Chain A
Amino acid sequence: MTTLRLGLRELLNHARLTLVMALAVGVPLMSYFTLGAYHAGLLSRYSDAYGDFLVVQLSGSLGEFYGSRLPAQVGDELRAARVSLVIPEIHTIVGTTTANAILLRGIPLESYTQVEEYKMAAGRPLLPEDPPRLAMIGARLAETRGLVPGDFIQIRGRDFQVVGIFDVGTYAGNEAWISLEDAQTLLGWGTDVSVYMIPNGEIYKEGDSLPGGISVVRKGASSAALIDEWEPVFRLLSLVVGALGLAAAVALASILWRLAWLQRRELAILRSLGFGKRSLAAYLLTQGSGIMSLGFLFAGLGALSLGNLTAIRTAGISIQAVFDVQVILASLAFAVCITLAGTSVPVWWLNRLNLSTLLRSE
């Protein structure tokens, strides 16, 4: 306890230094925190694996977002092949600029509830007997645009009345859903659709190919492909954050080493009074932990602010920072690693010095 108290007292004696050191280790921690939160946001919103359904789409496309277009004839062929349920959908991104882009989904009103699980946050869902020009929109889109049921949203120049706001916890929260017929009319697609949803475990299985460059993929393959596309950026950023963590550990080691050197007289006296080498390690670990705790606090506050103030929006697709337990624990583990790495060098160095060396310097 004495060494712990001594360690903390020394930090308080150099309060300004401690504060700046906490900020120095707070920077990589904040970067780690923020990066982890955005990665978690990407994974939680875009990992939409739903094993009950397969998606028939243009091979290699991101059909659940955009880029797939199939003629109605494909649906007829699927039905002819005795697929029990064939649900056509349209997926595209509409808007005049990437800033006002909306993910649009055209859905058959009589069967869409069989494919997508959602909760209504406000209003009501679209019903088979609904007239045209009605929409239900995702909670994220409603929040971004400040829309409530009864308001109008403009899609490709036409006003659609919002009848409900749904919450799905995935990227679909950025989507506007309208009837399939409305979507086909808006896009001028005639009877074409983007994809067909079919039940898994029947005639077709994941990886099957159909004539005309069409393939069967699992539901969620598009979002998995999108995550894969951004993965190199996250890998690079992780590397940078790891390097910054290393820099923080080096800075921490340097400062603890020098603080210990400044306190060598007191430490030598403690050793001569019978305190063991472990006490010296505890002394440095206390200081390292004290600095890191403060740094973690700064990092948490900084990351929360950054995460709340910024969202990455790209053509209707947004990535938000998600601060869940896993992210917090991972950041804490990163902080502990920096502390241990930053403390171990001065501990090793201090333990190499014997009592007479410590006293002789005086």
Chain B
Amino acid sequence: MLLALRFSFRNMLHDRSRTLLSITGLSVVIASYFILSALAGAFSSYLNITTVSRNLIVIQNDLIDPSDATLEPQVIQAAQELIPGTISRISPIVFRHTRVGENVVQLRAVAEQDWEPVFHLVLLKGAWPTNDNEVVVGEGISLANAWEVGSVVQVFGCNFRVSGIFRSPGTAFASVWMPIHTFWSLFDTQHGYQAMFVQAAVGVDPETVRSRLQNDPRLANSYAVYFEDNYTHRNIQALKDFSSMMTIVSGIALLGIIFGIFNATTLSTIERSRELGIMLGIGFSHRTVRRFILIQFTLQGLLAYGVGMAAAWLYVVSQQALAPFFILGLPFSLKITPGMAASSLAWVVGLAFLGAWLSTRRLFNLRVVELLSDS
């Protein structure tokens, strides 16, 4: 094994310019694969949100976007009647998608006293709004837009000061929150809501609450009651096709490794057929010679893996720092995870080996004289 490794390194050094070209080509393919996988991972991170919430959400059924929904007063009343025995707290919410600056963001307006106990917002910087021209923003959106406490953002044509930055579970960290009375006084004199969050009382199974509300005649057929995490998961399925597409494209990019290694190995064996013939002539077995070649080109794949991963990591880090991207209010953060690095390593080694193996199959059938005459 050591002999094979030494032989491979010396061979690569001898052909350093060609080795460099091969490794450069392969590392670009591997870097591309990493970036595409990171993008697919960013999409699927939303698809695989695993937070478990005890909150229920009541919303008009058959509507994909909550911003077009209407919450009728009798629905709020149906829930209020279950307080305090079955339900501990309800929180009707206004939900909008709106452009703030360059991005579409989620705007949520809720009674301020519900922000912490119902929605689990945790203030990281600044303070909660104290007057009508203040809002708080999620840490995801503040990072992406470089908003700080004191920044001014324009919502529905009005300027608001960012009074604080919060952290919260789920996708709410990418949203802008304002007190409900601010929203109503500025944008909705009819005082309407889009949905309602419901918290089951302590010791009560939330499924029981869901079932009771769902079967209330005031909600039947027009409203659906979901667990909050299920509802988020349902809506986020819109990203599934993008995630699948990125996975397919990254898989296709990986084919470049097989082709690249196959070509490099084939050309090398054609050029070196005389040397290979001599090796066989002095007693090396076909298997040993083939092993040398397989090791050499798998090593090239490994070197390309190191360079490619480093390049992709640099790109991802700089992209996150300079130009993070948002789609429909959701921030997409590209990450190269240890799991991704490990699975990519397995793919690269496997595919490089496969490419070299496919290319050297013919070697097994050649006699020494044929190799020498080929040269």
Q: In the complex where A313-B241, A314-B239 touch, is A243 in contact with B31 (Cβ < 8 A)? A: yes
Mark each residue of chain B from 223 to 241: 1 if its CB lies under 8 Å from any CB of chain A, else 0: 0000000000011011111
B299 within 8 A of A: no
Q: Given the complex, which residues of B lie within 8 Å of A229, measured CB to CB?
A: 103-104, 326-328
Mark each residue of chain B from 1 to 32: 1 if its CB lies under 8 Å from any CB of chain A, else 0: 00000000000000000100110111011011
Give the docked Cα–Cα distance between A227 and B61 (Å): 28
CB distance from A62 to the nearest CB of B (A): 6
B98 partner, pick from A14, A58, A312, beta carbons under 8 A:
A58
Q: Given the complex, which residues of B lie within 8 Å of A254, measured CB to CB?
A: 18, 21-22, 25, 263-264, 267
Q: In the complex where A92-B65, A313-B241, A316-B64 touch, is A98 in contact with B235 (Cβ < 8 A)? A: yes
A244 partner, pick from B32, B187, B244, B328, beta carbons under 8 A:
B32
Mark each residue of chain B from 150 to 183: 1 if its CB lies under 8 Å from any CB of chain A, else 0: 0000011110000000000000000000000000
A255 within 8 A of B: yes
Q: In the complex where A60-B99, A60-B156, A212-B187 touch, is A27 in contact with B64 (Cβ < 8 A)? A: no
B83 within 8 A of A: no
CB distance from A293 to the nearest CB of B (A): 17
Tell me which of A17-25, A141-149, A162-170, A276-284 binds B: A17-25
Mark each residue of chain B from 93 to 113: 1 if its CB lies under 8 Å from any CB of chain A, else 0: 000111110111000000000
Residue on B nearest A249 in the bound complex, by CB? B25
Chain B interfacial residues counted at CB < 8 A: 73
B115 within 8 A of A: no
A189 within 8 A of B: yes
Tell me which of B204-212, B246-254, B274-282 binds A: B246-254
B238:A98 contact, CB within 8 angstroms: yes
Instruction: Give residues of chain B (95-136) contacting chain A, Cβ–Cβ below 8 Å.
Output: 96-100, 102-104
Q: Given the complex, which residues of A lie within 8 Å of B255, measured CB to CB?
A: 23, 27
Q: Given the complex, which residues of B lie within 8 Å of A358, measured CB to CB?
A: none
- In this complex, the interface size class of chain A, counting residues with CB under 8 Å from chain B, is 35 or more
B36 partner, pick from A189, A240, A314, beta carbons under 8 A:
A240
Prevailing SS type, chain B contact patch: helix
A99 within 8 A of B: yes
Instruction: Give residues of chain A (215-257) contacting chain B, Cβ–Cβ below 8 Å.
Output: 215, 225, 228-230, 232-233, 236-237, 239-240, 243-244, 246-248, 250-251, 253-255, 257
B238:A250 contact, CB within 8 angstroms: no
Q: Contact residues of A with B, CB < 8 Å?
A: 14, 16-17, 20-21, 23-24, 27-28, 30-31, 34, 58-62, 66-67, 69, 71, 92-99, 101, 156-157, 187-189, 194, 209, 212-213, 215, 225, 228-230, 232-233, 236-237, 239-240, 243-244, 246-248, 250-251, 253-255, 257-259, 261-262, 306, 310-316
